[in-house]
Amino acid sequence: MSADRYQQHCTISWDRLHRDVRALCHRLIEREYKGIIAITRGGLIPAALIARELNVRLIDTICIKSYDYMDQDEVNVLKGIDHDGEDWLLVDDLVDTGKTARAVREMLPKANFVTIYAKPEGKPLVDQYLTEISQDTWIQFPWDMGISFVEPLVDQLKSRQK
């Protein structure tokens, strides 16, 4: 799969991410978990926010590489988990095509798997998600972006007229 499959972009701000995580936590609060497993790297920040909201102190990681910028690679498990996930909350930022989700589901079949955002191809692989995003949308997460100066509008218009 390559970057040309993405026709749209969706930028997630830090504020939106935090609001979305809190909204997802309202659905998760009734159940107690032994701990949280973050799927690295995208699931690290959502897992930390969820851990705070649910007051969970035990956090582990499953380390998988499947993306290189916009291109999906083969799933490469860098660090696994030594149990089946029973009573654990498994967290990722997004389920896209489901390639990573399938690999993780095989390793942790009993975990409660949640993502903040879900695309149609991957959606059936997670137990819960907050927001569905179209399959052709590339999501720009706040940890992948930098802050830069933006010229005032009047200056932008002046520079275009020259």
Strands (E), 23-161: 35-40, 59-68, 71-79, 88-95, 112-118, 128-132, 137-140
Write down the catalytic residue from 15, 20, 82, 93. 93
Q: State yes or no: is 4 an active-site residue.
A: no
Question: Is 96 considered catalytic here?
Answer: yes
Strands 59-68 and 71-79 turn out to be antiparallel
Residue among 60, 87, 92, 127 flagged as catalytic: 92
Distance CA 158, CA 5 (A): 36
Burial state string for 110-126 with b = 16 or more CB within 10 A and e = fewer than 16: ebbbbbbbbbeebbebb
Residue from 93, 92, 64, 69 nearest 5 by CA: 69
**Does the annotation mark 20 as catalytic?**
no
Comparing C-alpha atoms, which of 71, 113, 77, 70 is closest to residue 95?
A: 113
> Which residue of the set 4, 20, 73, 96 is catalytic?
96
Active centre residues (catalytic): 92-93, 96
